[in-house]
Amino acid sequence: MKIFHLPDLGEGLAEAEVREWYIKEGDIVKVDQPLVSMETAKAVVDVPSPYAGKIVGLHGKVNEVIKTGAPLISFEVEGETAAAEKDKGSVVGKLETSSKKWDDSDVIIGPAKSKSPAVKAMPAARVLAQQLNINLSDVKPTGPQGLITPEDVKNHMNKPSGTSESHGVNLSGKTEALHGVRRVMAQAMMQSHKEIVPVTIIEDADISHFPPKTDMTVVLLKAMVAAARAEPAMNAWFDGKSLEVKKFEDVNIGLAVDTSEGLFVPVIKQAQNLSDADMRTKIETYKSSVKNRSIPSADMQGATITLSNFGTIAGRYATPIIVPPAVAILGCGRSREAVSVKNGELKAGRILPLSLTFDHRAATGGEATRYLAAVIKYLHDAVI
């Protein structure tokens, strides 16, 4: 019997989620036949068969998360030189196999594997219990050999004596585990909260001179490029372990894109070299590729600073979250009409609310305010 381990899907991620099985135990498959649809934070990938043979076992159910390198499928293959052991040039490259015995702790749901020697429980049940703040010792097991299953945890949670005790109320509702992009986003947010010391500065920019239908996203991108030249400290990465700051010449701006499946952040590389038309073309290309989940992994890596243009939906000010190793993120709220005093006279105009969050470990308040001032100056002086 051959055990096929989940290969690196070319995404640089440590795990993937089972979205749909195309086969079942007992099926006879051919080399390169699609076996399973796996979802990562960036794409949905069909994994082809590395062998021709019979499916003996499937290691993981739909919506379960499998670590890269963990057992995925068990095969019964005739002979020792199966054709599929050669590199077939599939979407996942060379597929390595081994006869390593499968440990059910390689299948997880949630941000990390958690073990407890005192209680016998499936890994998915352990992580779910940790997320719901449930003591596994209080859960009644129904699984094989006295194992606690995820369903046991859910059933315990739904009891009046479960999680409601700590809140003094008993509320009914549906619990859903995060999957795919939303799950990875949650992990990134937890990492940010754990590592970064964030400070947010807010200010308004006068854009009364902008004509209607101004492409504000493009203008903001150009303002960020100009500000990075004036104050390089925000266009940087910070290594919290070595306490080193790396400042960049290229301005690679991550652009937060909201979707029903979660938040994507494609990166506009070398924004300082792009014209207005090039920037708009790049934005539209990214929106399309994000929508159909075809965006390459390389297009979502390498951001030196990020723009969150949340004002296209709603909101004035925010405290945008920095994703390490970046040092800063600029948030743009919804513009609004306002009355201002100029030369002793009241004048109606339009202002744009801005929120800059920076990592105070890597930059000073002076550096952050100078960057924000440079953004505002560019907007004030821009000829549209």
The CATH code of the domain that includes 238 is: 3.30.559.10
In a domain, 176, yes or no: no
Q: What is the phi/psi pair of residue 353, to 5°?
A: -80, 135
Question: Residue 75's domain is classified under what CATH number?
Answer: 2.40.50.100
Per the model's pLDDT, the better-predicted residue between 230 and 84 turns out to be: 230
Per-residue pLDDT tens for 303-341? 999 999 998 899 999 999 999 999 999 999 999 999 888
Residues 132 and 200 in one domain: no
Identify the pLDDT of residue 54. 92
Q: What is the mean pLDDT of the chain?
A: 83
Residues 230 and 335 in one domain: yes
Per-residue pLDDT tens for 131-153? 777 888 888 888 877 889 888 88
In a domain, 174, yes or no: no
* Strand 65-67 versus strand 107-108 pairing type: antiparallel
Per-residue pLDDT tens for 192-213? 888 899 999 999 999 999 998 9
Identify the pLDDT of residue 165. 44
User: Does 352 have pLDDT greater than 60?
Assistant: yes
Residues 287 and 158 in one domain: no
Q: Which domain holds residue 146?
A: 109-166
Identify the pLDDT of residue 210. 93
Q: Length of the chain, please?
A: 384
State how far the Cα of 70 lies from the Cα of 104, in Å rounded to an integer.
Answer: 9
Q: Which of 54, 82, 103 is the last residue of a domain?
A: 103
In a domain, 304, yes or no: yes
Alpha-carbon Rg for the chain in angstroms: 26
User: Does 43 have pLDDT greater than 90?
Assistant: no
> DSSP code of 112?
S
Identify the pLDDT of residue 74. 92
Identify the pLDDT of residue 153. 85
Question: Residue 145's domain is classified under what CATH number?
Answer: 4.10.320.10
Identify the pLDDT of residue 12. 60
Counting residues of the chain whose pLDDT is more than 70, the rounded percentage is: 84
Instruction: Calculate mean pLDDT across residues 158-182.
Output: 63
Residue indicated by tokens 């440590």: 14
User: Does 97 have pLDDT greater than 70?
Assistant: no
User: Does 117 have pLDDT greater than 50?
Assistant: no
In a domain, 141, yes or no: yes
In a domain, 173, yes or no: no
> Of the segments 68-77, 99-108, 292-301, 363-372, which one has the largest average pLDDT value?
363-372
Identify the pLDDT of residue 44. 76
Instruction: Calculate mean pLDDT across residues 123-127.
Output: 81
Q: What is the phi/psi pair of residue 340, to 5°?
A: -130, 165
* Strand 345-359 versus strand 328-332 pairing type: antiparallel
Per-residue pLDDT tens for 259-292? 877 788 999 999 999 999 999 999 999 999 888 8
> Which tokens hold the place of 168?
């003094």
Residues 297 and 162 in one domain: no
Q: What's the total number of domains in the chain?
A: 3
